[in-house]
């Protein structure tokens, strides 16, 4: 089996771009996916899931140049689990998608 994730959704905010060292760049994206279904009463329900996405290098450049809040995107990558210690000394766990491909479905500003 392979660790592979594919999402089609919309950015919840503008990409957060950071420079790490002199030559590394990273973009943090918040992507919302929606699933619509009918509940037991026949009512239409939309379930929104939020996904943290990290894009490195040239993908970070693409995110910065072509994406803004609301942009519809396709993200392909793999799930990464990591942990860190916050300022209060509490260990936190994060699951995020490490992107290896980004495709913009709507133009910036539309």
Domain segments of the chain as ranges: 5-104
Q: Provide the mean pLDDT of the chain.
A: 93
pLDDT classification of 60: cutoffs 50, 70, 90: very high
Q: Which element (helix H / strand E) includes 104? A: strand 91-104
pLDDT tens column, 81-104: 999 999 999 999 999 999 999 999
Whole-number pLDDT of residue 110: 55
The CATH T-level fold of domain 5-104 is: OB fold (Dihydrolipoamide Acetyltransferase, E2P) (2.40.50)
Whole-number pLDDT of residue 104: 93
- pTM (predicted TM-score): 0.85
> Two tokens at 97?
């998608």
């Amino acid at each position: 089996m392979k660790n592979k994730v594919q999402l089609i959704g919309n950015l919840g905010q503008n990409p957060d771009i950071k420079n790490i060292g002199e030559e590394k760049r990273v973009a943090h994206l918040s992507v919302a996916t929606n699933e619509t279904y009918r509940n037991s009463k026949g009512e239409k329900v939309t379930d929104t899931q939020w996904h943290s996405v990290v894009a490195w290098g040239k993908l970070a450049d693409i995110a910065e140049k072509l994406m803004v809040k609301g942009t519809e995107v396709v993200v392909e990558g793999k799930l990464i689990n990591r942990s860190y210690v916050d300022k209060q000394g509490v260990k936190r766990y994060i699951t995020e998608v490490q992107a290896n491909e980004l495709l913009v479905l709507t133009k910036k500003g539309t």
